[in-house]
Structure formats: structure tokens, C-alpha cells
Amino acid sequence: MKKYIIAILSISTLLLNSCMATKDSKSDAGIYGTTWELDYISGPRIAFEGLYPDKKPQITFDEKEKNVHGNSGCNGYSAPFTLTGKSLTFGEPGPATMMFCEGGGEQQFLQQIKKTTSYSIDKDGKLNLIMGDVPMMRFKKVAK
């Protein structure tokens, strides 16, 4: 009887652990396959709507190319990224159309991207880009 109880507990533990591992790997893949739109940025003393009066910054992760692309609130950008677990860093943004941007939010956005050290996806499905242990930017999924 003892052997059966030990066997059942062992199998239950293995099943539980495998389910948890699957859940974690799915959350890591959650940044891919969607476009994210900025809805919060830390730092500036200007209202969010004032920083981005015409268009909010967006970011899309290309898993295959290890590159992100999007717009910075007015100009397009692309940059390489490195993702290891929850650790996330970005390289220098590549060439972009250089149009004058109202509000000054573009520079704030590009500076914050370079300071990112990790990411998380919260319970509401929002992407947080983090510097150290402080969320610096929050993005929501763009409806397609």
C-alpha cells in the first residue's frame, strides 16, 4: 500500500511541475506575435498625452530576426534585442525617418528603451519594460 501512495504522489508531482513549466514558457512567448502600444512612461514631468499628442509609440518583437521595430511616437525605428529568460536588452536603434516630433516624447522613449534590463507581462496582459527592478514603460496589446 505504501508503494502505491508513493507512486501516486511522485506522478502527481511530476505532472504538476510539467504543467507549471509549460505555463512559464508560454508567458515568455507572449511578447511575440503582437504589436504593443505605450500607455505609460516613467520620468517625464509632462503629461503622457502632451508627450505623444499625435501617435503613441509602438513596438513589435521579431523572434526570428531578434529585432524590434515600430514607431517612437512619430518616426520609425528598429533595433536588435537580446532576450534570456526575463532579461531583455536593446541595441542602438537603427536609421529612422527624421521628422520633427511634437511634444518631445520621442527622445524620452528612445532613452528609456536603451535602459531596459528585463521585462514582465502582468496579470492584465500588459508588457512592462523594467530598469533594475523599476517598471519604466508599460505597453498594451494593439487590437488588430
Got the DSSP string for 1-16? Answer: -HHHHHHHHHHHHHHH
Q: Tell me the per-residue pLDDT of 41-76, one tens digit each, with 9 for 90 and over.
A: 998 778 888 888 888 999 999 999 999 999 988 888
pLDDT of residue 27: 45
If you average pLDDT over residues 16-33, what whole number do you get?
A: 54
> What's the rounded Cα separation, in Å, for the pair 44 and 56?
15
pLDDT band with cut points at 50, 70 and 90 for residue 143: confident
- What's the pLDDT tens digit per position in 91-132? 987 655 576 777 778 888 988 999 999 999 999 999 999 999
Looking at residue 93, its pLDDT comes to 74
Residue 135 contacts residue 124 (beta carbons within 8 Å):
no
